[in-house]
Amino acid sequence: MLRSGVRRKSIAIYAANLFGTEDNLRERAIARKGDAAMIESYDYARRKGTRELGWDTCTDLAAGLAEALEPLGIDAVVGIARGGLIPAATVALSLRREMFPIRLSRRVNDEVKYDSPVWWIRVPPDVAGLRVAVVDEIADSGETLRLARQAVVDAGAVDVVTTCLVQHSWAQPEPTFSGLISDELIIFPWKRRVLRNGVWRPHPELQAALRLSASANRETRSGGASKPARSAAARQ
């Protein structure tokens, strides 16, 4: 339960990119990988089916998150870059609250490079004493939201809740609020296509994931009936 009567602080606009020496050394040591290696940290074969989300649906899911957060008296929103900034901005604008971008990710230039999330932009000290909602686009393993929440707590926030547009059933810990619970392969509207050499093409990671998911589903059907995907169109 969020506590009331928290002192509100003036919030300065924050943007700090923390590429430390260790991060630079690790980045230079990364070799470029193909599509198969690019998604090695994500077990897309676990997905049961596919679901495309349109912009209107994502807007509605973000609005639902704002409705869940509004009674809690949230002081600020922390959005996890990159995709998480889209619902985070929607929630922050809906609640008329400041938003701070952070970035911790397994990705470099949108390709998976690390087994665990790496910090690139850290939590600002401005969150100290505030009630904060951490927002991301999806909770897969749950690790990113867990690390982000702990960092916000360590920065001095009084209360912290975690939210996302979509949550897989195996996410641990589970987010406080999610717009949709589904074990399907989720296709967000901002991840359908990429621009390469002036030509819009299907996202290569998505294509590889669809192939893996389709292959796993065929093997499941040939070996026996599969369990239905768990989904819910309501917040937890």
Residue 234 has pLDDT above 50, yes or no: no
CB 163 within 8 A of CB 65: yes
Largest CA distance in the chain: 60
Specify the pLDDT at position 1: 39
Q: What is the pLDDT of residues 73-85, one digit of tens each?
A: 999 999 999 999 9
Question: Which amino acid appears at position 224 of this protein?
Answer: G
With contact defined as beta carbons under 8 Å apart, do 134 and 78 qualify? Answer: yes
Q: DSSP of 28-62, one letter per residue?
A: HTPPP--HHHHTTTS-GGG--SEEE--HHHHHHHH
CATH code at 34-223: 3.40.50.2020
Query: Bridge-partner residues for 95, per DSSP?
Result: none
Output 177 or 218, whichever has higher pLDDT. 177
Pairwise CA distance, residues 206 & 196, whole Å: 15
Task: For residue 154, give the H/E element and its range.
Answer: helix 143-154
pLDDT the model gives residue 23: 44
Task: Using pLDDT thresholds of 50, 70 and 90, give the confidence band for residue 216.
Answer: low
As a whole number of angstroms, the distance between CA 7 and CA 9 comes to: 6
- Output DSSP code: residue 122: P
**Model confidence pLDDT, tens digit, residues 171-186:** 999 999 999 999 999 9
Question: Which pLDDT value is given to residue 73?
Answer: 97
Model confidence pLDDT, tens digit, residues 13-52: 222 333 333 444 334 333 333 443 444 446 677 888 899 9
CA distance 101 to 15: 7
Cα–Cα dist 161/32, whole Å? 36
**Structure tokens belonging to residue 227:** 């369990």
C-alpha–C-alpha distance, residues 234 and 62, integer Å: 12
For 151-189, letters b (16+ CB in 10 Å) and e give bbeebebbbbbbbbbbbbeebeebbbbbbbbbbbbbbbe
pTM of the model: 0.76
How far, in Å, CA of 202 to CA of 178, rounded?
A: 27
